[in-house]
Amino acid sequence: MEFNKEKWKEKLEERLLEKFSVSLKDASPFEVYKALGETVMSFIAKDWYETKQEYSKTKQAFYLSSEFLMGRALGNNLINLGIDKEIQEFLKELGIDYNQIEDEEEDAALGNGGLGRLAACFMDSLATLNLPGQGYSIRYRNGIFNQYLRDGYQVEKPETWLKYEDVWSVMRPEDEVVVNFGYTSVRALPYDMPIIGYGTKNVNTLRLWEAHSIVDLDLGVFNQQDYLHATQDKTLAEDISRVLYPNDSTDEGKKLRLRQQYFFVSASLQDIIKKFKKVHGREFSKIPEFISIQLNDTHPVIAIPELMRILVDVEGVLWEDAWEIVKKTFSYTNHTILAEALEKWWVGLYQEVVPRIFQITEGIHNQFKNELANLYPNDVNKQNRMQIIQGNMIHMAWLAIYGSHKVNGVAELHTEILKEHELRDWYELYPDKFLNKTNGITQRRWLLKSNPQLASYITELIGDAWIKDLSELKKLEQFIDDKKVLSKIWDIKIEKKKELVEYLRETQGIDINPNSIFDVQVKRLHEYKRQLLNIFQVYDLYQQLKQNPNMDFVPTTYIYGAKAAPGYKVAKGIIRLINDIAQIINGDDEIKDRLKVVFVENYRVTVAEKIFPAADISEQISTAGKEASGTGNMKFMLNGAITLGTLDGANVEIAKEAGEENEYIFGMRVKDIEELRKKGYDPRFPYNNVTGLKQVVDALIDGRLSDLGSGIYREIHSLLMERGDQYFVLEDFEDYRRKQREINRDYKDKISWAKKMLKNIANAGKFSSDRTILEYANEIWNIKETKIK
């Protein structure tokens, strides 16, 4: 976008005056933020409209996801419009600090973690690549909770991003639809967010539905002075889009959750079909030619029976014809193999919430049951295993696979495990449905925006084509022996570390040595992600340093950031444990300058943007086979952090791209785990035989550490020692510690360390979400670049 200073100034002043009746020189940061946002919205309005017009003529992909973890929009939008530097300069001339303006924006935190952030990166890539793709979800009034620490324990407080409204959303009352539940109906009111592509005029759309009552107040009841009952209907309806479920693993099977899912899925499909009919009339057989719908995990899978309902009940299409359309339209992405996360609905609940959808689901189930009987007449077990409705539970993943033409995992290893184990029966039945789509991240947010220093240096070296084609980074390899380049990327890392140090001093009052190694694990808290392994190593290291004060050791700062699901007791206990150990170590004057432990409160997208660029070590230490992909691992790599990881998820591909010698790979492989399980794993073996391990594990229960009486440390101890250490924390401890020591030695050689950094950056090209999205576009959705003029 052309930047015309006079025009911007004029617009901004106009907005401030009209909206807040304030002049530019007297406006508060909040007022400037709002006016700036609205000015951006007014400048893109025409392109946004034209993009919609163009897309309506061609095949479009719709990304149905219960979560979009967008973070802030202002900075990203300015960057993608190519006017960020100009705006910063222009504000500076007016005596306004851009950073202060940016900090007025709340994160749009409508997601839990990787799955939601992936959806957000995909939006950026679709728009940048001029691809006709739109997101659909729920406009949760409260996103993922804000996390606070009290006595080292997590406390949750509601997140309220809409408190002062959102400048990036446009309400579209003309597109409102009604969603019918068994007992009631609600209004679905859409709000659109523009998704501004980088270096293109195209502006894509993320449509979020808000729930409202059909009758805002029941006047009859109200007049009878019964105010509470009069508002009950309204509350019940609005509850649907009130809050994001903060659970990212265990399937809860809650009624409100099902209502949320059906609400946004039904609204989205009604919207899609309405627009289809405007262009193509009643030629429903053409739906797969013009519409492709991606189901982001099982959360939107109720879309399959819902499209059947719309076609059969509403439009009068024959069941058999409708089923053909459905199968060609949907595709499904699996993000986990954890059994406890696979969604199942209790028939009784499903029937109560969506009775007609239950009948249709039963119809699909019966149809498939007959197919199975014909396919495997001699294998009743297999028939039973694959049923969509088993006993009184509806198996959403099975419904998804049966109703889709493509099913994908999110990293090579993950897809292989799905095919060989979890979904083996299905892969045998439908080999052509299965494919891999290794995740990716957008380099616009995760390098260009979050690390402008490294971004401009890369551009200085190889030009700026990498911003749209990340494989260009490979050209950096020519500098692998260039001392000047190596020392510059080292210096940039130090600069980013200093920025993070400053942020943590301001927000948490912690003092960190920027010359220490920053060893970082940021992600949701989960047993399988093994933050416990990490903190055990730190505690062991602390004992070593105490016993051996002259130990040759480069000062290290261990940084953690993680939210735990509010009901996940063990995860919360691990947060307390990290903070407990942090307090002991950071308070020990003998150790002070050598070892530090920091738990970053309320880890979220905006904080992540400060952390990834400052990391030296990327901790990716899940039990092999458990992490579907990981995407944080890619953000670290792109910013020159070295992976300390197991061969799990996309770590495997990261090590392959950068060379295993440029990462620190440790621990059991998937096959080792299979073998050890078969043989019988006894955690008492490493406990008794690995030096120092007993000391660490016992600290949980011998009084050296304190859970303040909650009993959770004893629970964790028992999970390890009496209940089999499911995630092989003790088994992998020794190898992990060995790698930690290796890192500490290697870090001293600045040049060879910087070479590793450069190798990682240069080989991060594969992990752009642009690459991922192009694969989805070409191999699943069959959509084409559609650029507006």
* Sole binder of ligand HBZ in the list 104, 627, 731, 770 (CB under 6 A): 627
* Sole binder of ligand HBZ in the list 37, 71, 75, 113 (CB under 6 A): 113
Q: Does 604 bind ligand HBZ (CB under 6 A)?
A: no
Q: 637 with 473: CB under 8 angstroms?
A: no
* Sole binder of ligand HBZ in the list 65, 112, 266, 768 (CB under 6 A): 112
- Least distance between ligand HBZ and beta carbon 335 (Å): 4
Give the side-chain half-sphere CA count within 13 A for 238: 10
Task: Mark the segment that binds ligand HBZ (CB under 6 A) among 92-100, 300-308, 627-635, 717-725.
Answer: 627-635
Q: Does 626 bind ligand HBZ (CB under 6 A)?
A: no
Q: Does 439 bind ligand HBZ (CB under 6 A)?
A: yes
Structure tokens at 440: 């990716």
Q: Does 246 bind ligand HBZ (CB under 6 A)?
A: no
- Least distance between ligand HBZ and beta carbon 633 (Å): 8
The dihedral through the CA atoms of 237, 142, 526, 529 has a sign that is positive
| CA separation, residue 765 to residues 3, 249, 709, 785 (Å) | 30, 30, 49, 21
Which residue, 335 or 419, is less far from ligand HBZ as judged by CB? 335
Q: Of residues 207, 572, 635, 756, which has the active-site annotation?
A: 635
Q: Of residues 141, 493, 529, 576, which has the active-site annotation?
A: 529
Beta-carbon neighbour count of residue 17 at 10 Å?
A: 14
Among all chains, which residue has been given the structure tokens 């400053």? Answer: 502
**Residue of this chain nearest to ligand HBZ (CB atom):** 114
Q: What angle (nearest 5°) sits at the alpha carbon of residue 95, between those of residues 91 and 97?
A: 60
Q: How far, in Å, CA of 199 to CA of 644, rounded?
A: 35
Which residue, 115 or 486, is less far from ligand HBZ as judged by CB? 115
**Catalytic residue flag (residue 335):** yes
Q: Does 783 bind ligand HBZ (CB under 6 A)?
A: no
Which residue, 146 or 769, is less far from ligand HBZ as judged by CB? 769
Instruction: Sketch the per residue contact string, 404 through 433, with ligand HBZ: x for CB under 6 A, - otherwise.
Output: ------x-----------------------
Q: Does 65 bind ligand HBZ (CB under 6 A)?
A: no
Find the binding residues for ligand HBZ in span 308-347 (CB under 6 A).
Answer: 335-336, 341
Q: Of residues 39, 415, 631, 643, which has the active-site annotation?
A: 631
**Catalytic residue flag (residue 635):** yes
Q: Of residues 11, 117, 257, 523, which has the active-site annotation?
A: 523
Locate the DSSP E strands across 589-728.
Answer: 595-599, 617-620, 642-645, 664-665
Task: Mark the segment that binds ligand HBZ (CB under 6 A) among 38-46, 91-99, 623-631, 691-699.
Answer: 623-631
Which residue, 61 or 410, is less far from ligand HBZ as judged by CB? 410
Tell me the Ramachandran region of residue 230: left when phi exceeds 0, alpha when psi lies from -120 to 50, beta otherwise.
alpha
Q: How far, in Å, CA of 633 to CA of 644, rounded?
A: 10
Which residue, 631 or 760, is less far from ligand HBZ as judged by CB? 631
Q: How far, in Å, CA of 368 to CA of 374, rounded?
A: 10
Locate the DSSP E strands across 374-494.
Answer: 389-390, 393-395, 406-409, 434-436
Which residue, 335 or 771, is less far from ligand HBZ as judged by CB? 335
- Least distance between ligand HBZ and beta carbon 112 (Å): 4
The torsion angles phi and psi of 644, rounded to 5 degrees, stand at -110, 105
Q: Does 758 bind ligand HBZ (CB under 6 A)?
A: no
- Least distance between ligand HBZ and beta carbon 533 (Å): 17
Candidates 134, 149, 92, 151; CA nearest to 561 is: 149
Q: Does 395 bind ligand HBZ (CB under 6 A)?
A: no
Interhelix angle 483-508/452-462, rounded to 10 degrees, is 160
Among all chains, which residue has been given the structure tokens 């043989």? Answer: 679
- Least distance between ligand HBZ and beta carbon 39 (Å): 34
**Catalytic residue flag (residue 242):** no
* Sole binder of ligand HBZ in the list 37, 71, 114, 561 (CB under 6 A): 114
Task: Mark the segment that binds ligand HBZ (CB under 6 A) among 624-632, 686-694, 711-719, 740-748.
Answer: 624-632
Q: Does 772 bind ligand HBZ (CB under 6 A)?
A: no
Q: 268 with 188: CB under 8 angstroms?
A: no
Q: How far is CA 613 from the centre of its chain?
A: 18
Q: Does 579 bind ligand HBZ (CB under 6 A)?
A: no
DSSP code at position 418: I
Which residue, 397 or 582, is less far from ligand HBZ as judged by CB? 397
Q: Does 248 bind ligand HBZ (CB under 6 A)?
A: yes
For residue 176, give the amino acid letter. E
Which residue, 78 or 411, is less far from ligand HBZ as judged by CB? 411
Task: Mark the segment that binds ligand HBZ (CB under 6 A) among 106-114, 454-462, 683-691, 698-706.
Answer: 106-114
Which residue, 34 or 563, is less far from ligand HBZ as judged by CB? 563
Q: How far, in Å, CA of 445 to CA of 73, rounded?
A: 10
Q: Does 243 bind ligand HBZ (CB under 6 A)?
A: no
Q: 521 with 602: CB under 8 angstroms?
A: no
* Sole binder of ligand HBZ in the list 80, 629, 639, 744 (CB under 6 A): 629
* Sole binder of ligand HBZ in the list 649, 683, 686, 765 (CB under 6 A): 649
Q: 656 with 508: CB under 8 angstroms?
A: no
Task: Mark the segment that binds ligand HBZ (CB under 6 A) among 6-14, 187-195, 424-432, 626-634.
Answer: 626-634
- Least distance between ligand HBZ and beta carbon 262 (Å): 15
**Catalytic residue flag (residue 524):** yes
Q: How far, in Å, CA of 263 to CA of 268, rounded?
A: 9
Candidates 560, 577, 579; CA nearest to 569 is: 577
Q: Does 521 bind ligand HBZ (CB under 6 A)?
A: no
Interhelix angle 569-586/712-721, rounded to 10 degrees, is 110
- Least distance between ligand HBZ and beta carbon 334 (Å): 9
**Catalytic residue flag (residue 529):** yes
Q: Of residues 335, 526, 576, 604, which has the active-site annotation?
A: 335
Q: How far, in Å, CA of 581 to CA of 590, rounded?
A: 15
Which residue, 640 or 649, is less far from ligand HBZ as judged by CB? 649
For residue 304, give the amino acid letter. I
Q: What angle (nearest 5°) sits at the alpha carbon of residue 617, between those of residues 112 and 713?
A: 60
**DSSP codes joined into one string, 357-408:** HHHHHHHHHHHHHHHHHHH-TT-HHHHHHH-SEETTEEEHHHHHHHT-SEEE
Beta-carbon neighbour count of residue 523 at 10 Å?
A: 24
The torsion angles phi and psi of 728, rounded to 5 degrees, stand at 55, 40
Task: Mark the segment that binds ligand HBZ (CB under 6 A) among 184-192, 394-402, 570-578, 622-630.
Answer: 622-630
Give the side-chain half-sphere CA count within 13 A for 374: 5
- Least distance between ligand HBZ and beta carbon 631 (Å): 5
Which residue, 109 or 538, is less far from ligand HBZ as judged by CB? 109
Which residue, 75 or 113, is less far from ligand HBZ as judged by CB? 113
Q: What angle (nearest 5°) sits at the alpha carbon of residue 717, between those of residues 715 and 722?
A: 95
Which residue, 101 or 410, is less far from ligand HBZ as judged by CB? 410
Q: How far, in Å, CA of 400 to CA of 419, rounded?
A: 15
Q: Which active-site residues does the annotation give?
A: 335, 523-524, 529, 631, 635
Contact footprint for ligand HBZ (CB under 6 A)? 112-116, 118, 247-248, 335-336, 341, 410, 439, 627-631, 649
